[in-house]
Amino acid sequence: MDSQDNARKRAPRSARGRPRGWDDKTAQNTIKSLDRAMEVFEYLSEAQGKTLTALAAETAQSNATVYRILVTLQGRGLVEFEAEDQTWHIGPRAFVIGARFLRRTSLVDRARPILRRLMEDTGETANLGVEQEGAVLFLSQVETHANIRAFFPPGTLSPMHSSGIGKALLAKMDDRRLDRFLASAKLEVFTLHTITTHEALKSDLRAVRERGFSIDNEEKNIGMRCIAAPVFDVNGEAVAGLSVSGPTSRVSEDEIKRLSRPVIEAADELTRAIGGMATRLPT
């Protein structure tokens, strides 16, 4: 075997589809003009209906540069120009591309690393659930390493009114949909803490909306407490919930405020990961 063969053998093989130096994100491996164009495009997506002058000023770029970017994006259908008021807007092609992303997005797959970090940050079991025919369907869970733990294997169903995730989703329903739910729901009693009247549930949901997270305060199982927050889709609708659950000895009333922050942050992260738009107010 000659020296060239040895060199080839020693040289690291690049991953399929990735060039050498893939992990090098320094300026030499970025396209500055493309980066500037994406800055304008992203800014326009958040602030629809901007004039050329306003876009240039607010992105700290020259009028000429921004104009070239806009014309290029317009040629791809990513932005549109309204001649009447001389403003630029996001174009239909942006929606088409976004829709393709949504088709490949799996809620469970996107949630797994977020659930794991949530468990590590809080030390409690992290859960993902969705509404299914008036109940919470648990889709995924990352268990805590502690001896005493909550356990909701995928496929488990839990009543909405006594579940942290369930109440997080109920709190985001409009009045008409909530009334339909209440008209058919049986508020079954599980513990002395279970909410069993429509008035009490509505009062609890108002509190959920105000603080941005829900609490299952031993309402399903004595000695277990859960903190949950909703996950939103591209239309700003609550389509899932993330929660942490554990024994009241660890998830005490004094710990609720501290534990709620990572739950809300994880729910917001998953919202962004699936291309969604959060509608909650900051807490």
Give the residue-averaged pLDDT of 67-71: 94
Q: Do 96 and 55 have their domain in common?
A: yes
Q: Do 52 and 161 have their domain in common?
A: no
Is residue 52 assigned to a domain? Answer: yes
Of 251, 226, 104, the residue nearest 168 (C-alpha): 226
Q: Do 66 and 198 have their domain in common?
A: no
Share of the chain above pLDDT 90, in %: 65
Q: Do 116 and 208 have their domain in common?
A: yes
Of 213, 240, 238, 214, the residue nearest 130 (C-alpha): 240
The β-bridge partners of 232 are 238
Q: Do 74 and 186 have their domain in common?
A: no
Domain interval for residue 45: 26-100
Give the residue-averaged pLDDT of 22-40: 73
Residue ending a domain, among 100, 124, 148, is 100
Is residue 129 assigned to a domain? Answer: yes
Split at pLDDT 50, 70, 90, the class of 7 is very low
Q: Do 85 and 116 have their domain in common?
A: no
Among 23-37, 62-76, 263-277, which stretch is predicted with the lowest mean pLDDT?
Answer: 23-37
Split at pLDDT 50, 70, 90, the class of 169 is very high
- Is the pLDDT assigned to residue 29 strictly greater than 60? no
Q: Are 128 and 141 in contact (CB under 8 A)?
A: yes
Q: Do 138 and 222 have their domain in common?
A: yes
Is residue 3 assigned to a domain? Answer: no
Residue ending a domain, among 100, 132, 148, is 100
Q: Do 173 and 81 have their domain in common?
A: no
User: Counting beta carbons within 10 angstroms of the beta carbon of residue 270, is it exposed (0 to 12), middle (13 to 18) or buried (19 or more)?
Assistant: buried
Is residue 20 assigned to a domain? Answer: no
pLDDT for the residue 282: 42
Among 7-21, 129-143, 151-165, which stretch is predicted with the lowest mean pLDDT?
Answer: 7-21
Q: Do 184 and 263 have their domain in common?
A: yes
pLDDT tens readout for residues 122-151? 999 999 999 988 899 999 999 998 877 777
Split at pLDDT 50, 70, 90, the class of 281 is very low
Is residue 199 assigned to a domain? Answer: yes
Among 92-106, 172-186, 194-208, 225-239, which stretch is predicted with the lowest mean pLDDT?
Answer: 92-106
Domains identified in the chain, total number: 2
Of 127, 122, 200, 119, the residue nearest 162 (C-alpha): 200
Is residue 236 assigned to a domain? Answer: yes
Is residue 278 assigned to a domain? Answer: no
Split at pLDDT 50, 70, 90, the class of 22 is very low
Q: Do 76 and 149 have their domain in common?
A: no
Residue ending a domain, among 53, 81, 100, is 100
Q: Do 213 and 192 have their domain in common?
A: yes
Q: Do 241 and 134 have their domain in common?
A: yes
Distance separating alpha carbons of residues 168 and 260, to the nearest angstrom: 12
Is residue 10 assigned to a domain? Answer: no
- Is the pLDDT assigned to residue 154 strictly greater than 90? no
